Chains A and B, each alone.
Chain A
Amino acid sequence: MLVTALLSGLVLGGTYALVAMGLTLQYGIARIMNLAYGETIIAAAFLAYVLFNGLGINPVLGLLIAVPLGFVFGYLVYGLMMRPLVRRAKSRETLEIDSILATFGLLFVIQGVMLVFFGSNYTSYSYLNIGVSVLGTTIAANRLLAFALAIVLGGGLYLLLTRTLWGTALRAVAVSPTSAPLVGIDVERAARTAFAIGGALAAAGGVVISMYQTFTATAGVVFTMKALIVVIMGGVGNILGALFSGLLLGLVETFVATYVDPGLTLAATYLIFLAILLWRPAGLFGRSAR
């Protein structure tokens, strides 16, 4: 029971971490609070479902389709919707409010489109649904694969961001958008790239989630919510913080679901959020002031 909960928690947490990394890039670097983030995740989950059930393409290959699509989607959303708002904004606060409102509208558009195509039923497909024995307990192979994918994608991105000049430039924008241009960084381009990578990660997260969970067209809000809490917990713009917080949230949720009640997972998430707000609003790993 304990080992099972631990393993499922890590699988779930790995997915949360992956998804939250994308959101922390969008919010930390592009300064866009994207409330339609969860809808991107669900759209990718539906894409994986259609590819698997309709065309027989397995989700791992589906990633090769979904991730570039997510990138292009993020790139377009930033270019068409966010850039005018960024240029118009007088301060960080006005951009924050504008982006919250615009993406809130986008949330309903994407959700509406998905409802038209797929309805509001729970959707899932069965891929690699065979038990594998790990540490004396059995766990579905698709979950192990999901965890491995999350680690590879998340770890790869982390290395890209910390070990390359390109990644360092992106992180510089997160630290100080006003001084980044002084060292020759194109802030707008960095923001656009970061937003697009966020879209790609959301798509990757959606495909990974669809492999082992059921989902509905209206489930995006909860994913956005959890990703936002993980981002705040890890400290905005902090990749490693998002990774650890994501794993932590996944573990807490699974333990609550196993030992308390599955209906109370969101309540547990909120309880953590409340504790963070009261105790360390800058995040567990964040700097104390913003």
Chain B
Amino acid sequence: MTARTLLGLLVAGLVLAALAALPLFAGPYAVTLMIGMTGYVVLATAWGLFSGPTRYVSLATVAFFGIGAYTVGVFSETLPYPLVLLVAALIGLAVALVVGLSTLRLAGVYFVIFTFGLAELIRQLVTWYEVNVTGTLGRYIFLPVTPEGIYWQLLALAAATFLFSWGIGRTRWGLALKVIGDDEVVASHCGIDITRLKLALFAVSAVIITLVGAIQAPRWTYIEPSIAFNPTISFLTLIMALLGGADRLWGPLLGAIPLFLLFEWLSANFPNHYPIILGLVFIAIVFLLPKGVLAAVESRLRKGGAR
């Protein structure tokens, strides 16, 4: 470990400590804002973890987010809290394995199609199950978790996600992922087990996303399938990761913060029109910054340096 990485880790640790201390000084609105922002930072980073290197566009963020949230709704009264999180993570893992095993050995487009309708499928299945088997639609979540507690959990999850994402880039698997992202044929000729690696990464990313949903669930108090499986969450995660640049460690973070604030402002001031505005912002990003802000800034700098 060089002095530079040590210094980097130290700075990251200090920033994390400062962020964790924030609720001690800031008011409840700031904590609410920070919960939402940290949640999206984790979602976008976890999305980029899989989709950045593999270039597989996952549209199923909210499927896993919703699984996490709804699992908490179902088990919050019967199981202790840590066990609830574990169950949520396991269900997310199982769904990710089903999706991954059936699509990841095929071309990327099958994965996109499968993930496109996945949230709607799970929403309808949960609704069907609740109406026909349990006879109730919608559940209350009464957990003794304070907003600060949620914020700290999310912060810890964010730190773990960043650590994982940074760590994997320094291993053989990280190198293998780079090869896959550049050229799958070359990767398979190098003896890389493409499908297994993609599957593992997708599973990790899905479990993190599931946990975000599970941790944030107590914020709602009342939960029903249409709340938990709101497609806007998939959409927002996707634009955030793309704006910053999905294939970089800090890219999704850089996209998530400004877009989350923009979204907050839009939904407060233009509650009826924000999907339109966000859609237009999204199209603009795809056209103007196809590789994300970071890559655009870098290439601009490199051009300037060469001149």
A interface residues (Cβ-Cβ under 8 A, vs B): 33, 35, 81, 84-85, 88, 93, 96-98, 100-102, 104-113, 115-116, 221-222, 224-225, 228-229, 232, 261, 263-264, 266-267, 270, 273-274, 277-278, 281, 290
B263 at the interface (CB under 8 A from A): no
By a CB distance below 8 angstroms, the chain A residues around B283 are 81, 102, 105-106, 109
B interface residues (Cβ-Cβ under 8 A, vs A): 55, 57, 59, 102-103, 106-110, 112-114, 116-117, 120-121, 124-125, 127-128, 131-132, 231, 235, 238-239, 242, 272-280, 282-283, 286-287, 290
A260: min CB distance to chain B, Å: 11
Name the residue among A101, A222, A278 with the largest chain B CB count within 10 angstroms: A101
Bound-state Cα–Cα, A88 to B242, Å: 18
By a CB distance below 8 angstroms, the chain A residues around B131 are 263
By a CB distance below 8 angstroms, the chain B residues around A274 are 102
Neighbour of A116 across the interface among B276, B280, B282, CB < 8 A? B276
- Are A222's CB and B117's CB within 8 A? yes
- Are A109's CB and B276's CB within 8 A? yes
Bound-state Cα–Cα, A278 to B124, Å: 23
Neighbour of A228 across the interface among B103, B113, B121, CB < 8 A? B113
- Are A112's CB and B55's CB within 8 A? no
- Are B242's CB and A225's CB within 8 A? no
Contacts known (A35-B116, A109-B280, A221-B231); A104 close to B275, Cβ less than 8 A: no
By a CB distance below 8 angstroms, the chain A residues around B120 are 221-222, 225, 266
Bound-state Cα–Cα, A93 to B277, Å: 28
- Are A116's CB and B272's CB within 8 A? yes
| Complex: chain B residue closest to A102, CB-CB | B286
- Are B279's CB and A108's CB within 8 A? yes
Please list 26 pairs of residues, one from A and one from B, whose beta carbons are closer than 8 Å in the complex, sorted by A's number: A33-B109, A85-B286, A85-B287, A93-B108, A97-B55, A101-B57, A101-B238, A101-B282, A101-B286, A104-B59, A104-B282, A105-B280, A105-B283, A105-B286, A108-B235, A115-B272, A115-B275, A116-B272, A221-B116, A221-B117, A222-B120, A225-B120, A228-B113, A263-B127, A266-B120, A281-B106
| Complex: chain B residue closest to A219, CB-CB | B120
By a CB distance below 8 angstroms, the chain B residues around A108 are 235, 275-276, 278-279, 282
B103: min CB distance to chain A, Å: 6
- How many A-B residue contacts, CB cutoff 8 Å? 115
Neighbour of B57 across the interface among A97, A105, A232, CB < 8 A? A97
Contacts known (A100-B112, A266-B124); A277 close to B102, Cβ less than 8 A: yes
Bound-state Cα–Cα, A237 to B221, Å: 48
Bound-state Cα–Cα, A273 to B239, Å: 28
Bound-state Cα–Cα, A96 to B287, Å: 14
Q: A105-B282, A109-B280, A290-B107 are in contact. List 11 more A-B contacts (CB 8 A).
A: A85-B287, A101-B242, A107-B279, A109-B275, A111-B275, A116-B276, A221-B120, A225-B117, A264-B124, A264-B125, A277-B106
Neighbour of A102 across the interface among B55, B116, B287, CB < 8 A? B287
| Complex: chain A residue closest to B278, CB-CB | A108
Neighbour of B276 across the interface among A85, A113, A232, CB < 8 A? A113
Contacts known (A101-B242, A261-B132); A225 close to B113, Cβ less than 8 A: yes
- Are A109's CB and B279's CB within 8 A? yes
Bound-state Cα–Cα, A273 to B112, Å: 13
By a CB distance below 8 angstroms, the chain B residues around A229 are 113
Bound-state Cα–Cα, A105 to B242, Å: 12
Bound-state Cα–Cα, A278 to B278, Å: 36
Bound-state Cα–Cα, A109 to B290, Å: 19
By a CB distance below 8 angstroms, the chain B residues around A84 are 287
By a CB distance below 8 angstroms, the chain A residues around B286 are 85, 98, 101-102, 105
